Homo-oligomer: A and B are copies of this chain.
Amino acid sequence: MTKTLLSGDNLPNIPWEPRPPANGDVVWRYGKNPVIPRHATPTIDSIYNSAVVPFRGGFAGVFRCDDRSRNMTLRVGRSRDGIDFQIAEQRLEFSCDTPEIAQFLEGYDPRVVPLDGRYYVIWCNNYHGYTIGLGYTDDFERFHQLENAFLPFNRNGVLFPRRIGGEYMMLSRPSDAGHTPFGDIFLSHSKDLVYWGKHRHVMSPKRDGGLVNWQMTKIGAGPYPIETSEGWLLFYHGVLTTCNGFTYSMGAALLDLDKPWQVRYRTRPYLLSPDTLYENVGNTQNVLFPCAALTCAATGRIAIYYGAADTCTGLAFCQVDELFDFLKKNSEV
């Protein structure tokens, strides 16, 4: 067992591959990446920025699958081992009691969070502008859509996996109507997952001094926060703007357990940045976008799923102890 206890899931069958000998990085890639190639099913253009959770002894997930019209759809996928996934041929459909929001136009960048015995799905939903859509499923077969959490324009909504101080909490990144060139992470409270308030600023891009860095343009929460004895472990993406576009990399932060809008540690360097052909080349070059993480408390293993180049899905691994050591030694809040 590791020093830092990982609550939540304790998965003996988590996908795993040891760090390659020559690799000294705290996070390393799966050797057979992309774990899910772009043409995972014939009717899609690409599959990425997707959410995987343990489900009934195996794994299930909600995947961003851009179809051949490049429309952004959500689809269900299942896997025994977290490596080979069967992706649904049809887009995911939600039932919804509220006619005003029931028309599902687009969905992208989903997260799935186990909470109150259910699986909540959070995604970027188009309702007169992109905002945070919210729904749930019990079985990955029927899905029910709730009210959108916020007004447009918002992206990267991520629920915490339990109530804190009796309230639900959601991270999100307020945005604009385009390819937003800014973005801070905020946290909002709710008692019922319908009405949200008490909005708190969590963290900003690193703008200090104007120095170039990997997280200087915008940042956004990645997988849902992982509870540890020292705080909520949050993987997040940060964006650097080059003369030829955005580059998305991954870092991590540790949030206060009780007041998770307070950041205790935050990686100054990135953990992983586009550095392979499947991350550097594709629908959008130089994108590495984490959306899900699986953990094993007994071994301290973490497996991270991330979108690569807006095209396919990568997998990476780390050991929680090593990660905490790195985070604390390389922290700049």
Contacts and interface: CB of A to CB of B under 8 A. Distances in A.
Contacts of A154: 151
B68 A270 contact: yes
Contacts of A67: 269
Contacts of A227: none
B244 A246 contact: yes
A191 B192 CA distance: 12
Contacts of A179: 242-243
B214 A69 contact: yes
A193 to B, nearest CB: 9
Nearest to A269: B68
Nearest to A180: B176
A42 B24 contact: yes
Interface string A272-296: 0101010011111110000000000
Interface in A118-172: 126-129, 131, 147-154, 172
A196 interface: yes
A172 to B, nearest CB: 7
A310 interface: yes
A33 interface: no
A4 interface: no
A1 interface: no
Interface stretch (A5-13, A84-92, A182-190): A182-190
Interface string A10-30: 000000000000001100000
A283 B127 CA distance: 34
A282 B242 CA distance: 11
Interface in A211-270: 211-214, 240, 242-247, 249, 261, 268-270
B71 A213 contact: yes
A69 B281 contact: no
Interface stretch (A49-57, A197-205, A297-305): A197-205
Contacts of A93: none
A99 B262 CA distance: 13
A194 interface: yes
A246 B245 contact: no
A242 B195 contact: no
Contacts of A275: 38
A106 interface: yes
Interface of A: 24-25, 38, 42, 45, 67-72, 98, 100, 105-106, 126-129, 131, 147-154, 172, 174, 176-177, 179, 182, 184, 186, 188-191, 194-201, 204, 209-214, 240, 242-247, 249, 261, 268-270, 273, 275, 277, 280-286, 310
11 contacts: A69-B214, A70-B240, A106-B211, A128-B184, A153-B153, A176-B176, A191-B195, A280-B282, A280-B285, A281-B281, A281-B285
